[in-house]
Amino acid sequence: MAFSWKNQVILLTGGTGSFGQKFTEIVLKKYKPQTVRIFSRDEWKQWDMEKRFRDPRLRFFLGDVRDKDRLRRAMEGATLVVHAAALKQVPLCEYNPFEAIKTNVMGAQNVIDAALDAGIPRVMALSTDKAVNPVNLYGASKLCAEKLFVQGNAYTGPRSTRFSCVRYGNVVGSRGSVLPLFLAQRSTGRLTVTDERMTRFWLTLEQGVAFVVRCIEQMRGGEVFVPKIPSMRLIDMARAVAPQARIDVTGIRPGEKIHEVLITEDEAPRTYDGKDGYVVLPSYDPQERPTVKNIKFLSPQFRYSSETNTQWMTKNELLKIVEGLTHS
């Protein structure tokens, strides 16, 4: 049966974060959900979000994904869960590994268990390129979360619940991303870049939300959806934002990669091109394998990496995004 957003009761974990607020804004504006439940642990952000949106379809649940009982209560009567809650600052996760595991791994398992108990039909989790060949704890914890969500489909039994993931790159302008740092440094006349060679995948919050929406509509359970998005060198981004500023190369930080990867050669043989993105199928035999007509998997040599990407963000495209951020 085709998915319809009308009258959906959505639970959004991490609902007061950058993605959560943009997802809420777009879904309320373009679609007709019955309710969007914002689940997060920050009471001030919830109060601020309620004041800003002033929409009777919003509900606010104070809670932490570490608390399975609270999740179960929040999921009662929900029909869709979007799991966006995570600790994602790499240095902080490195310094506080126990906390990162409790939220990113155990929290993911709690979401899965609660969704199974509540019989939620669709559960979509947000992942990151840092989960691919991880070199830091944040990436390793998100890899574990991906594995949990994909394998969660093996626990559904007679239930209609299905789990999938969306994996994408850096969100331009989100909290903690490098672009707001560059904009803040611009007035000093000095920008810092850790390595001149460094590249990253980039997309806007709007693009991220639109892709998640499409993937929720298409998911059958067990897929990891990967969008086709542009790359850009960080030093080119710095020069575009502040062409007159001095750029200091400070050296790569612990847990940081020169380039990021969204799909590895190991995943390519079970990945197909879904037009606006790639779809990685699970390595095991799920209960209900996605039905795709004329499916053609990628070459075993295929690797989707930020430095060999065929799509690159231009200076003008970046400046257009910057203009939107500075006038928002």
Cβ-based neighbours of 184, under 8 Å, separated by 6 or more: none
**Placement of tokens 């704890």 in the chain:** 137
Confirm whether 130 is a catalytic residue: yes
In the set 130, 142, 228, 257, the catalytic residue is 130
DSSP structure class, residue 111: H
CA dihedral of residues 28, 168, 99, 107 (deg, nearest 10): 60
Characterize 182-218 residue by residue with b for buried, 16 or more Cβ atoms within 10 angstroms of its Cβ, and e for exposed: bbebbeeeebbbbbeebbbbbbbbeebbbbbbbbbee
Map residue 77 onto helix, strand or coil: coil
Handedness of CA 149, 131, 291, 229 (dihedral sign): positive
68 contacts: CB under 8 Å, gap ≥ 6: 110, 113, 114
Q: What are the residue numbers of the active site? A: 130
